[in-house]
Amino acid sequence: MAGSNNLKPTPPRWLLAELTYACPLQCPYCSNPVDYSKYPSELGTEDWKRVLSEARKMGAVQLGFSGGEPLTRKDLAELVRHARGLGYYSNLITSGYGMTEEKIVQLKEAGLDHIQVSIQASTQELNDHIAGTASFEHKKKVAHLVKKHGYPMVLCVVIHRENIHQMPEILAMAEELGADYLELANTQYYGWAHVNRDLLMPTKEQFEQAEAIAQAFKEKVAGKMKIYYVVPDYYEDRPKACMNGWGTTFLTIAPDGMALPCHEARVLPGLDCPNVRDYSIEQIWNESKAFNFFRGDAWMKEPCRSCDEKHKDHGGCRCQAYLLSGDMYAADPVCSKSPDHHLVDEAIASARNSALATDEKPLIFRNSKNSRQLA
Ligand code: FES
C-alpha cells in the first residue's frame, strides 16, 4: 500500500456507494463499466455498513446510494438507517423503477434525506426506447410520490442527440411534475456512452440551441425551480476539474468492493485499485497506490506542468485523457492547449458523419449480454 508521494491528503467528503450493477433499465449512456458483467459479486450488508462507518469517521459527510439501480438491494433501508445513525446526508440516485409508496415510506422512516429520479425523455415512446424498458408512466408516478412524501423533487435528464430536440417539452414536463431541481446533464462520454458516442453526441448547433432554451426557461422559473446545466466537455475549450482533483474529495466504492478515485478508474491501466474487503478506508485513502497516483501535480507532463491554470483544472480528467489519447498522463484533450485536442474535433466530426449516414448503426444498450460481448 505504499503511496507515490508524501502529500498529506485531505479526508474524503463525498462517498458514492454503488450498491449494485443490477439494473432493470438499459440506458446506452450509462457510466457503469462496459465490462460490469465481470464483477458479479456484491458486498454484503455488514461490509457496506463498515465502509460507511469508516468513511464517516474519516470525515465523509455526503453519501450517494447509486448503482445500477440501488432499489434492487433488499438491504437499502437498513443501509440508509445506518447512514442516518452516523450523521450522513444521504441521497438516493434512482431510475425510480421498482419504487413503491411503501418503499418511500420505509426509506423516509430510515432517514433518507434526498431522492433524485432520472427520466429519459418527455414522451413515453422515447423514454421507453432509451431506457430499454417500459418505465415512463411509473417514473412520473414516482416523481409525484417523492413530492407527496415531503422530499424535494429532484429530476435528472441526461441529454444527448436522441432527446435534445425535446428540450422545451422536457422543461415543461419538469414544471408539470413540480420539480424543485432539474439537472440537465449533457452526456459525458465514459462507459457505455463512450461506446455509443457517435450516436449520442449532438452537433454544436443542437447543443447551443438547447442551451439557449434552457437558459431562457431558467430565468422564467427563477425562485421556483433550480436548474443545473451540465455542459458537454467536448464543446468546451478547457477541461473540468474532474472529481474536484484526484483523491481530494470523492471516494467511490463499486459493487464488488473496489475503491475507486472516480467512477471510471477501472479503465486506467496499472492503478491496482484496492478492495474494501482487504483494506480499511483509511488505508485505501491515505496509502494506496491508486488514490495517490494523480494527487498533486508531480505526475503532469507538458503542457500541464508549466500551465498557469493547472491548479484550477488539475490537468482535466485522467479517464478522458486515457480514453481519447491512450495516455492517462496526458493533458485532457478537451483542453485547447493539448497537443491531442484534434482528437476531440475528430470525435465531433465522426458523430456528425454518423448522424448524416443513411445506415447509422444501432445503439448498444447496457445489458449483461452486451457487456459479456464487449468485455
Ligand atoms: Fe476518472 Fe475523470 S472520470 S478522472
Its ipTM equals 0.94
pLDDT the model gives residue 1:
64
Residue type, 206: Q
State if residue 317 touches ligand 1 by the CB under 6 angstroms criterion. Answer: yes
Question: Distance from the CA of 52 to the center of ligand 1, in angstroms?
Answer: 22
Task: Report the C-alpha gap between 79 and 105 in whole angstroms.
Answer: 15
Residue 102 lies in a domain: yes
* Ligand 1 atom with least separation from CA of 319: 1
pTM score, whole prediction: 0.95
Residue 360 included in any domain: yes
Domain count, the chain: 1
What pLDDT, on the 0 to 100 scale, is given for residue 358? 79
Within-domain flag for 2: no
Give yes or no for residue 265 CB within 6 A of ligand 1: yes
pLDDT < 70 positions in the chain = 1-7
Give me the CATH number covering residue 363. 3.20.20.70
Pocket test for ligand 1, best of 260, 317, 325 (most atoms within 8 A of CB): 317
Which pLDDT score, from 0 to 100, does residue 180 have? 96
- State the distance from the centre of ligand 1 to the C-alpha of 8, rounded, in angstroms: 21
Q: Is the CB of 321 under 6 A from ligand 1?
A: no
pLDDT at 6: 53
Note whether residue 5 is domain-resident.
no
Q: Confirm or reject: Cβ of 110 under 6 Å from ligand 1.
A: no
Q: Supply the pLDDT for residue 231.
A: 87
30 appears as a binding residue in the annotation = yes
In a domain, 54, yes or no: yes
Residue 268 Cα to ligand 1 midpoint, Å, equals 9
Q: What is the Å distance from ligand 1's center to 346 Cα?
A: 21
Which of 234, 240, 293, 318 for mutating ligand 1's site (highest number of atoms within 8 Å of CB)? 318
User: What is the best residue among 242, 260, 268, 335 to mutate for testing ligand 1's pocket, by most ligand atoms within 8 Å of CB?
Assistant: 242
Q: Is 23 annotated as belonging to a binding site?
A: yes
Is 353 domain-assigned? yes
Of 189, 236, 240, 243, the one to substitute when testing ligand 1's pocket (max ligand atoms within 8 A of C-beta) is 243
Which of ligand 1's atoms lies nearest the C-alpha of 240? Answer: 2
Other beta carbons less than 10 A from residue 212's beta carbon: 11
Q: Per the domain annotation, does 303 fall within a domain?
A: yes
pLDDT at residue number 3: 47
**Does the C-beta of 319 come closer than 6 Å to ligand 1?**
yes
Closest C-alpha residue for ligand 1 atom 1: 319
Task: Tell whether 273 is in a known binding site.
Answer: no
pLDDT at residue number 4: 47
According to the model, what pLDDT value does residue 7 have? Answer: 58
Atom of ligand 1 nearest to the CA of 246: 4
Would you say residue 32 lies in a domain? yes
For residue 242 and ligand 1, the question of a CB distance below 6 A is answered with: yes
Domain that holds residue 50: 11-286+295-374
User: 317 alpha carbon to ligand 1 midpoint, in Å?
Assistant: 5
Distance, CA 190 to ligand 1 centroid (Å)?
9
